[in-house]
Amino acid sequence: MRQDPPRPLAALEGVGVRRITTDQVILDDISWSVGAGEHWALLGANGAGKTTLLKLLGATMHPTTGSVEVLGNRLGRVDVRELRAHIGHVSTAQRVPQDATGHTVVLTGATGTVQPLWRKYDDATRELAHELLTELGCKELADRPFGVCSGGQRARVLIARALMPAPSLLLLDEPFNALDLPSREDLIDALARLAADRPALSTITVTHHLEELPPNTSHALLLREGRVRAQGPVAEVLTGELMTQTFGRAIEVTSQNGRWLARSGNQP
């Protein structure tokens, strides 16, 4: 008996987004699907539409045209508050109480709140928060105030928080922003371990630098001025030619041991 192909975790068809006040086109005719266990890099210049695309996938906004399905639910036909509870979303712009400990920050992921709702957390939930900190390689941050953590430590705590409801889809909006080299590498290692330990988890990572991509990155989508320039397996998309077309200047791309490097093609 022939089996139907597995349903994608996220699927966009002919999606467009316009700013109502100015009629500016933010996204134009985007069609894209993300399967279980895939790890996507989302790349493009500032203003290309990357964050808007993540907002659609995170069910925090609706498209102007086209359809968006996330976890089998079509936006406009589902209670987005319930849907958001099953999507992990990490952004350095997230509001987090600076005096809350790492463990408390992770706990709030169980209720999707900024402040902890202590009566909602039983012993199993509290233990899960500790386990996730350990999984992300930062169990020592359990009792440390979030505000005194380094940028890399904060990123790992926020990822642990996003994993509390056991999402199938994890959205990472520039998680490497302002990290120094050791912190960047620690976070890359943590994401690689996460992918190995959770084979069904799909991730979408917005970044400006190929050097920030973990070696488990399987696919890439390139955006230019709100339109898809290329998408598909990472080895086919992260080429000098396509990156040059996407960013509008000569770019050379190399890879070694699963890691990527981009630099200006105008250099001698």
> What's the pLDDT tens digit per position in 87-100?
999 987 788 899 99
Residues 46 and 98 occupy one common structural domain:
no
Give the domain extent around 184: 1-86+167-267
Residues 201 and 240 occupy one common structural domain:
yes
Q: Of 117, 133, 166, which residue constitutes the final position of a domain?
A: 166
Residues 41 and 74 occupy one common structural domain:
yes
Rounded alpha-carbon distances, angstroms, from residue 179 to 52, 63, 176: 23, 32, 6
Q: What is the reported pLDDT for 81?
A: 85
CA-CA distance, 190 to 138, in Å (whole number)? 10
DSSP annotation of 101 reads: B
What is the three-class DSSP state of 48? Answer: coil
Q: What are phi and psi of 87, to 5 degrees?
A: -120, 125
CA-CA distance, 177 to 150, in Å (whole number)? 12
CA-CA distance, 158 to 263, in Å (whole number)? 30
Residues 68 and 80 occupy one common structural domain:
yes
CB 202 within 8 A of CB 38: yes
Q: Is the pTM of this model over 0.85?
A: yes
Question: For the residues of 225-236, what is the DSSP string, one character each?
Answer: TTEEEEEEEHHH
Rounded average pLDDT over 170-181: 91
CA-CA distance, 153 to 56, in Å (whole number)? 27
Pairing of strands 202-206, 169-173: parallel
Residues 28 and 1 occupy one common structural domain:
yes
Rounded average pLDDT over 124-145: 95
If one counts the domains in the chain, the total is: 2
Residues 173 and 75 occupy one common structural domain:
yes
Domain harbouring 189, CATH code: 3.40.50.300
Q: Of 131, 148, 166, which residue constitutes the final position of a domain?
A: 166
Question: For the residues of 22-89, what is the DSSP string, one character each?
Answer: TTEEEEEEEEEEE-TT-EEEEEE-TTSSHHHHHHHHTTSS--SEEEEEETTEETTSS-HHHHHTTEEE
Residues 176 and 252 occupy one common structural domain:
yes
Residues 50 and 133 occupy one common structural domain:
no
Q: Of 143, 166, 189, which residue constitutes the final position of a domain?
A: 166
Residues 72 and 116 occupy one common structural domain:
no
Q: Compute CA 113 distance to the chain's CA centroid, rounded to the nearest angstrom.
A: 19
Rounded average pLDDT over 163-171: 94
Residues 81 and 176 occupy one common structural domain:
yes
Residue 268 has pLDDT above 70, yes or no: no
